[in-house]
Amino acid sequence: MKKRLQYIIGLSLITPLMILAPVAIAHGQTSDSSSSSGDQLTETEKTQLQTRVEKEKTDLKIKLGTAETALIKAKCTPAQSNIKSLSTRFLTNVPQRVKAYENLSSHLNTLIDKLKAKGVDTTEITQELTTLQAKITTYNTDVTTYKQALTDAKNVNCATDPAAFKAALQTARNDRDQVIKDIADIKTYVTGTVKPTLQKIRTTLASQEQSNSQNTGSNQ
């Protein structure tokens, strides 16, 4: 049975963690006239959007000069179209990564249960799974935040409020950077912490199996 556990742990060590290309948002393209997204917002949604972007303008200290205001008004519509396309691609990719993280967490939970059933000390790997799940929760939260930021950037009326568009776009870029950090953090933790622990457990099981085999042979 220990050989079976060694095999399962071996699979855990090579289970691929889905590495999707980091989500990105176009740099530098500002866009123009009214929102080009075509999304129909309710009055409540418009109010909530305005509240968010006003806060972002304050937090980011957005102040536009005459030249920058004119530039944004002249070019922001194409940028909002690009943001809409980016949002679509982003939403397409996210479920795959979320599913991969769910599968990884579930796989480790199952493995821990099997190890416990055979009397293997799972304290370390259990603690690491808890940490990993917290990192995944952070990723999911930050994805939701980034999704909202993309929506705001493509829906804000950039012709009448170019400062709001700049604030929304900068917020989306910042949120994107955080999501990318979350992805890198999870990958580093899995490869640098979780997998070495699994390898250590596997080595211990193999050593015990070899010792048991030797004892069995000497007793015959």
**DSSP letter string over 51-115?**
HHHHHHHHHTT----HHHHHHHHHHHHHHHHHHHHHHHHHHHHHHHHHHHHHHHHHHHHHHHHHH
Percent of the chain clearing pLDDT 90 (strictly above):
57
pLDDT of residue 210: 66
pLDDT of residue 138: 98
Mean pLDDT (the chain) is 81
Instruction: Give tens-digit pLDDT for 93-137.
Output: 889 999 999 999 999 999 999 888 888 899 999 999 999 999 999
Is 208's pLDDT higher than 50? yes
pLDDT of residue 23: 40
Please check whether residue 114 is in contact with residue 8, taking contact to mean a CB–CB distance below 8 angstroms. yes
Instruction: Give tens-digit pLDDT for 25-80.
Output: 333 333 333 333 446 889 999 999 999 999 999 999 999 999 999 999 988 888 88
* Helix-helix angle 123-155:43-59, to 10 degrees: 110
State the number of CA atoms in the 13 A half-sphere of 200 facing the CB.
12
214 compared with 19, residue with greater pLDDT = 214
H or E element at residue 28: none
Is 18's pLDDT higher than 50? no
SS3 1: coil
Is 16's pLDDT higher than 50? no
pLDDT of residue 213: 60
Residue 96: exposure state from Cβ atoms within 10 A (0-12, 13-18, ≥19): exposed
The alpha carbon of 13 is separated from its chain's Cα centroid by a whole number of angstroms, namely: 21
Is 204's pLDDT higher than 50? yes
Q: Where are the domains of the chain?
A: 65-206
